[in-house]
């Protein structure tokens, strides 16, 4: 089961990522744009996720994903770290959020980065 240190390690391994404390919690940013936070005493993460996909995730796996009330109108979803299978799943989630925030120059430089593995 991944924990906050795994989030930090994986997020900071993504290109041009920095960690910054904001709202009294760690946040991770690519080229200055936030793509992940560690709220809830670092037992969950909040990541970028298109609203349509996020709603499907929450319906399909409510024990893993949920929408915080104050984020309902934004394209973010919460993920319970204890519900994740392994570091690979965490990496896929963080990389997907990173891709949504990364500028085109980084996306062009790392086209293969974090693409979910084919099953």
What would the two tokens of residue 29 be? 């940013």
Looking at residue 41, what DSSP letter applies?
G
pLDDT means per 10 residues, the chain with 119 residues, are 95 97 95 94 95 95 96 96 96 96 92 58
This prediction has a pTM of 0.91
How many CB atoms sit inside 10 A of residue 113's CB?
A: 14
Question: What is the reported pLDDT for 115?
Answer: 53
Please give the helix or strand (H or E) that residue 54 lies within, else none.
helix 51-60
């Amino acid at each position: 089961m991944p924990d906050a240190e795994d989030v930090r390690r994986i997020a900071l391994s993504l290109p041009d990522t920095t960690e910054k404390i904001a709202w009294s919690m760690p946040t991770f940013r690519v080229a200055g744009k936030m793509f992940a936070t560690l709220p809830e005493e670092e037992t969950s993460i909040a990541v970028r996720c298109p609203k349509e996909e996020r709603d499907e995730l929450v319906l399909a796996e409510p024990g893993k994903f949920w929408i915080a009330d104050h984020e309902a109108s934004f394209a973010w979803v919460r993920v319970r770290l204890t519900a994740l299978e392994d570091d690979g799943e965490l990496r896929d989630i963080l990389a997907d959020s990173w891709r949504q925030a990364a500028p085109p120059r980084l996306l062009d430089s790392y086209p293969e980065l974090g693409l979910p593995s084919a099953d």
